[in-house]
Structures are given as structure tokens and as C-alpha cells.
Amino acid sequence: MRRSTTSGVTEVARALDRRRLGAVLGAQLICAVFLVGGPQTVPAGPAVAAPATVIAPSAPSSVHLPDGRTAQLIDLGAPSGGALLDRIFTELPGATAAVTAFWGPQWPREVLIAVAGTQDQFATLAGGGTDVAATTTADRIMFAPGAAAMNDADLRIVLRHELFHYAARADTAADAPTWLTEGVADFVGRPVSATPPPALSRRLPSDAELAAAGPDRSAAYDRAWSFATYVADTYGVDGLRALYVRACGHGHPDFATAVREALGAELPAVLTGWQR
């Protein structure tokens, strides 16, 4: 299972007040059952249970975090959804601290995290495939029901990765280079001591490689993370953040120009340093 990814799903909920999202998600759960049960085509996954067997979403649980933020945790009926949310709650203080340490404190004060009831619901509501643990939309972070099987270390990485996407979403252009947004999110999510695989290619990944299935996709994520880590090690964490803002922000230039403006270096020189 690929640890995580972002999602570009367009949602009606974007126009609604966040405090009403619990009710909206409950309504979407019912709609999703009919969508996957009808003639529409959906991504491959386990068969959806008949409506009579679907577990009703639990009431949102509101928790206060040490930095003053509020998290709404919602279980949409996954067999281990409650236990997964308990683990997420335990990891949230460290995750919010990690995101703020990199991005700064100016990001949404309310966070909505949901666990999908079924894999088909995860695909319908969050655009996630069977090899994806979680996705982030403008309104929420959603975990696949299978994410409950992750160990604590992987769950920690996924949560921090997705929380960074959530924090940076409003400042990230729709046409931002996906490989860089994912590489920086992995930099925030992975432990500082993590090292790349010894056979890692030193070629910038493409967005197409990150969208593909199989081992090539994981290798592309590793290269994106490795490049982001090199930039942070060489130009400082502030340099990596500046590169993200310039290369992924609204109205961003081409990547070579963004590198020159954010890092004060030419792209070929940066790539040569990374490849060495």
C-alpha cells in the first residue's frame, strides 16, 4: 500500500461551513452506497456491502490539540475505524508540531480527519486507490479502512505527510509539480534519520511516475523525497520552504526559474550536487 497521496477531487462540501462537515460526510456515505451499487463504474476494490449492512457513521469527536487547534475525528463505519482514530489522536500533537516547524503557524486552525467505511467509499469520496493509505482534499484528510493495518511508524509518516498537504493546500496551485509537493510532504513526514535506498536513481521523477502503479511509483516518491532532503541539507529548511512556495504556489514560474529565485542557484548545479 502506497503510504499516501493528495487528491484533486472536487467536492460540494467546499462551500459549506466546516462545522457542518460531519453531517455532510454522513450524507455522502449514504450517497456513496447508491453510487457504487448502481450502474456507474468505480475503481476496482472489495465489493461494497448491501445498504442494510453499512455501519452508520459515528458522531464526530472534537479534540483540542496543544497548539490550540481543534481536530474533528470521524469514523464512517470501518471495522477498525475507532481504533485507527485513537492512534491518529495519539500522533496528532507531534504531527501538528512537525508541520508548524516547517511551514510556520499560519495554517487552518480546524482539521477534519475521517476514516472511510469501505474501500469503495474511499475511492468515491476521496479519490484513493487500493494502494493508497490516505488522501487530502481542501476540506479533510481521509484514511482508507486498510490504513488500520499500518504499524505506528508508517502511520506517523502518513499523518504528518497528509497534514502538511492540508496545511499548504490553500497556497498550492492546482498545476503545481506533483513530484515536488509529494517530496516536500515526505520530507516533513519521514524521520530525519531516514536514508534513501542504496540503488536510488538520481533523476528527478515525473508526475506521471508518481501516478503510476507498482514499484516504479514508490521509487519515484523516494527520489522526490531525496531531492527535497538534499535541498534542505544544502540550502536550509528555509530554502526548501521558499522553493515550495515559489515552485508550487499560485502563478509559479517554470521549475528552473523557481530554483534560481528561491535558492540563488541554477538548476543544473543543484542537480549535480544532488546526484553526487
Domains within the chain, CATH numbers bracketed: 12-171 (3.30.2010.30), 178-275 (no CATH)
Least confident of 26-30, 123-127, 173-177: 26-30
> How far is CA 49 from its chain centroid?
27
Query: Average model confidence (pLDDT) for the chain?
Result: 82
Q: What is the pLDDT of residue 192?
A: 85
Are the C-beta atoms of 40 and 31 separated by less than 8 Å?
Answer: no
Answer whether residue 30 shows pLDDT above 70: no
- Of residues 62 and 264, which shows the higher confidence score? 264
Task: Give 183-193 pLDDT, tens digit per residue.
Answer: 999 999 999 88
Task: Give 212-259 pLDDT, tens digit per residue.
Answer: 877 788 899 999 999 999 999 999 999 999 999 999 999 999 999 999
Are the C-beta atoms of 5 and 133 separated by less than 8 Å?
Answer: no
Most confident stretch, 19-23, 41-45, 85-89: 85-89
Pick from 126, 58, 61: nearest CA to 89: 61
> Could you tell me the three cell numbers for 246?
515559489
Cα distance between the two ends of the chain: 31
Sign of CA dihedral 80, 86, 91, 93: positive
Answer whether residue 45 shows pLDDT above 80: no
Answer whether residue 15 shows pLDDT above 60: no
Which strands form 141-143's sheet, in the order they lie side by side?
61-64, 70-75, 110-115, 141-143, 134-136
DSSP 8-state secondary structure symbol assigned to residue 64: E
Query: Cα–Cα distance between 88 and 90 in angstroms, integer?
Result: 5
Our CA angle for 4, 149, 109, nearest 5°, is 50
Q: What is the pLDDT of residue 58?
A: 57
The alpha carbons of the chain give a radius of gyration, in whole angstroms, of: 19
Answer whether residue 93 shows pLDDT above 90: yes
Answer whether residue 144 shows pLDDT above 80: yes
Query: Cα–Cα distance between 124 and 190 in angstroms, integer?
Result: 28
Helices (H), the chain: 21-37, 81-103, 119-126, 152-168, 178-189, 207-211, 215-248, 255-263, 267-275
Q: Where do we find the cell 468515491?
A: 124
Q: What is the pLDDT of residue 46?
A: 36
Please enumerate in sequence order all residues whose Cβ is within 8 A of that of 227, keeping only pairs 6 or more positions apart, or say none: 183, 204, 274
Q: How confident is the model at residue 5 (pLDDT cuts 50, 70, 90)?
A: low
Q: What is the mean pLDDT of residues 103-107?
A: 97
Q: What helix, strand, coil percent values describe the chain, rounded to 5?
A: 55, 10, 35
Report the percent of the chain where pLDDT is more than 90: 64
